[in-house]
Chains A and B, each alone.
Chain A
Amino acid sequence: MNALVARLVAKRLGIMLISLLIIAFAVFFATELLPGDVAEILLGQSATPEAVAGLRKAMNLDQPAFLRFLSWLGGLLTGDLGRSYANNREVADLLAGRLANSLELAFVTTLFSVPIALTLGITAAMFRGSTYDRFVSVFTVSVISIPEFMVATLAVLIFAVYLKWLPALSVANDVQGIGELLRIYAMPVITLSFVVSAQMIRMTRAAVIDTLDTAYVEMALLKGASRRRIVLRHALPNALGPIVNAMALSLSYLLGGVIIVETIFNYPGVAKLMVDAVSTRDLPLIQSCAMIFCVSYLLLILIADLVAILANPRLRNQ
C-alpha cells in the first residue's frame, strides 16, 4: 500500500459518500414530496380537517421539507428508522429479521454462482470462437434478455410442476432438517443464480479476452511458451483484477432480481417487505428499504472499484 493508492481509495470513498447523500435526497423527496398529503392518506375515510391537522402536527409534517429531510437523515445515521404507518411498529424491528433472510439468500446465491460463472467465463474465453464458446454466449444472452420472473416461472414449471422435486413457495417459518432447508432455498437460489451468473459469465469472459488480446500475451507465445503457461502465468494474474471487478458488478444484479424472486416465491426478505410496503404506501418502511438497497448496491460498486485500483500492478508495485 502506498500514498497514491491510499489517495485513490480515499477519493472513491468520498465519491461514495456524496452519491449516498444524493440518493438519500432523491429517495426522501420522491416519497415525501410527491404523494400529496400523507396525513389524509393515513386517516383515509376519517379524514376530517381537524384530525388531519392534528396528525400533521404530530408527524412534524408542518415543518419545512428540508428540515424533515435533515432529521430523517439524522435518524438513519443513529439507527432510528421511524415507525411504520401500517402497523405502528419500529421500522428497525421489522427490518432486522428480514434483512438476515435476504442476506442469507444473497450469500447462498453467491456461493453457487461464482464458481460456476468463473469456470464457464474463463473457459469460454480460452476457447474463444469454439462451439462451446458460442453455446455459452447464446445461453447468457438468452438469460439476460428475458425478465427475471420468466426465469422464475420456468424454474417453477420445470422443477415444481413437471419434476415435482421442489415446492413452488418458500416459507422459512418452521425448518426441520437440512433437506427441508435445501428445498426451501432451492427455487429462489436457482433463479437468482441463473440471472447473476449469466451477467458474471459475460463479464468474466470479456475480462479474460481483453487480457489474452494484449501484446505481452502474444510476446509470451513468440517466446515459445505453451498455452497452459500463457494462460496461467501471463493472462490470469493480470485478469484477476478485472474478474473480481466483474464479479462485484454482476452481484449488483442480485438486487433487481431479488425483488422479483422474493415476491414470486413469497420469500420473507427485505424486498418482499418493500413490495408489500408499496402496496400499503407505508412510506417510512419504503424509505428504509430503499436505503438498504442503495447502500448495498453502492457497496458492491465500491468493492468493484477498489479491486480495480488494488489489482493494477502499476499502482501496486509503485
Chain B
Amino acid sequence: MTMTAPARKGHFGFNMNAVGIIGAAIILFWMVVAIAAPWISPYPVGQIVDFDYYGPISSQFWFGTDYLGRDMLSRVLMGARYTVGISLASVTIACFVGVTLGMIAAVIGGWFDAILSRFLDALNSIPSLMFGLVVVAAVGSSISVLVLTIAVLYAPGSYRFARALAVNVNAMDFVTVARARGEGTIYTIREEIFPNIIGPVLADFGLRFVFIVLLLSGLSFLGLGVQPPNADWGALVRENIGGLSFGAPAVIVPSIAIASLTISVNMLIDNLPRRIRDKSE
C-alpha cells in the first residue's frame, strides 16, 4: 500500500492514528486465524465434546458449546476460514473485473463505454440478497457458486466507482501527453491511470468487502450460504438461533466475530490518510 499512496513521503508511508491501527490489527488477526484455523483449534470442528448443549463459557470451552455440544471456539476459528475466505475471494474477483473494465471504458470511451455502463447499471439495480436467493434456488449452494454469484453482484459497483475515477484522471494533461506520444491503451491504463486511482480503489475494496461479509452472513443465516457440516459465522448464528432465548454464547460469539471484522474494516478505512479517503467519498 505504501508504494501506491499518492502522498509518499520518501520512506514507509504515512501517519495513521491509533483507531486505524487497531482496525488493521483486528483484520490481520482474522486473516491469520483463517489460514491457521485447523492447527490452532483446540478440538476437531465436527466432534461432539460435551454432553451438554448450549454450554456456557468455561475454562475448557472458552466460547461455550453449540446446539450439539461441539466446541464453539473451534467452530468460530474454522468459520473465519469460510467468512474471510469466501468474502476475500469474491471481492478480489469483483474488484479486479470491475476496476479493469472501468479503466478500459474510461480510456476507450465511445460505444464500448456506453453499452457496458448501461448494462452494468441495470445489473447494479438488482437487490443483492434477493439475487443471491434466486441463484441459490436455481443452482444450489456451493462455495464456488457463492463466490461467483457475489462477485457478479459486486463487480458493477466496483466498475462504476473505478470508471468515475478513471474518467477524471483520463482528462488530465499527463494522460494527453502519453496519448500524443503514441502510447497504447494498455500502457496508458497501467502506467498513467491505475497508479492514480489505486488509493481510492483500495478504500472501495475494503467497503465492498464489508458489504460482502454482510451479504454472505445473511445468506448463510437464511440457510442458503455455506452448507452443513461446514459453517461460516452466519451459519453458526443460524444453527444456534435456538439458544437465543436464553442468551447462549453459541449465538452471540459468531455475531460478535462478524461485527468485529466489519467494524474494523470501517475503522481502518475511515482513518486512512486523508488524501486516499477524500477521493473515495
Question: Which residues of B (1-58) have their CB < 8 Å from a CB of A?
Answer: none
User: Is A26 a contact partner of B133 (Cβ separation < 8 A)?
Assistant: no
Given contacts A145-B214, A259-B133, 13 further A-B contacts (CB under 8 A): A23-B126, A141-B263, A141-B270, A142-B263, A146-B258, A149-B234, A150-B237, A150-B258, A150-B259, A153-B241, A153-B255, A259-B222, A278-B136
B109, CB-defined interface residue at 8 Å: no
Contact A256 B255 (CB under 8 A): no
Within 8 A of A (CB), among B232-281: 234, 237, 241, 244-247, 251, 255, 258-259, 262-263, 265-266, 270, 281
Task: Across the A-B interface, give the 3 residue pairs with the lowest CB-CB distance, nearest first.
Answer: A22-B122, A145-B262, A19-B122
How many residues on A have C-beta within 8 angstroms of the other chain's C-beta atoms?
A: 48
User: In the complex the two chains form, what is the Cα distance from A156 to B266 in whole Å?
Assistant: 26
The answer, yes or no, to whether A114 is at the interface (CB within 8 Å) is no
Is B134 part of the contact surface with A, judged by Cβ < 8 Å? yes
Q: Taking beta carbons and an 8 Å cutoff, which residues of A are in contact with B? A: 15, 18-19, 22-23, 26-27, 30-31, 34-35, 141-142, 144-150, 153, 156-157, 160-161, 168, 206, 252, 255-256, 259-260, 263, 274-275, 277-279, 281, 283, 286, 289-290, 293-294, 297-298, 301
Select from chain A the residue with minimum beta-carbon distance to B237.
A149
Partner of A23, one of B125, B244, B251, B281: B125
A259 to B255, CA, bound (A): 18
Q: Which residues of B does A touch, CB under 8 Å?
A: 118-119, 121-123, 125-131, 133-139, 210, 214, 217-218, 221-224, 234, 237, 241, 244-247, 251, 255, 258-259, 262-263, 265-266, 270, 281
Question: A312 CB to closest chain B CB, in angstroms?
Answer: 20
- Report yes or no: A157 in contact with B247, Cβ–Cβ below 8 A: yes
Please, how many angstroms separate the alpha-carbon atoms of A35 and B133 in the complex?
Answer: 13
Partner of B126, one of A26, A146, A153, A283: A26
A110→B208 CA distance, assembly (Å): 26
Query: Is there contact, CB below 8 Å, between A278 and B133?
Result: yes
Q: Which residue of B lies closest to A156 (CB)?
A: B244
Q: A147-B217, A147-B221 are in contact. Are A298 and B130 (CB under 8 A)?
A: no
Q: Is the CB of A149 within 8 A of B127?
A: no
How distant is the Cα of A278 from the Cα of B137 in the complex, in angstroms? 5
Which of A141, A161, A252, A301 sits near B247, CB closer than 8 Å? A161
A160's nearest neighbour on chain B, judged by CB, is B245
Asked, given contacts A141-B270, A147-B258, A278-B136, whether A26 binds B244 with beta carbons under 8 Å apart, the answer is no
Other-chain residue from B122, B133, B137, B218 in contact with A147 (beta carbon distance below 8 A): B218
Q: Are A161 and B126 in contact (CB under 8 A)?
A: no
State whether B134 touches A286 (Cβ < 8 A).
yes
CB-CB nearest in chain A for B233: A147
Question: What is the chain B residue whose CB lies nearest that of A260?
Answer: B218
A-B contact pairs, 10 of them (CB 8 A): A19-B121, A19-B122, A34-B138, A145-B214, A146-B214, A149-B237, A156-B245, A161-B246, A260-B222, A294-B127
A30 neighbours in B (Cβ, 8 Å) = 131, 134-135, 138
Complexed CA–CA distance, A145 and B122 (Å):
26
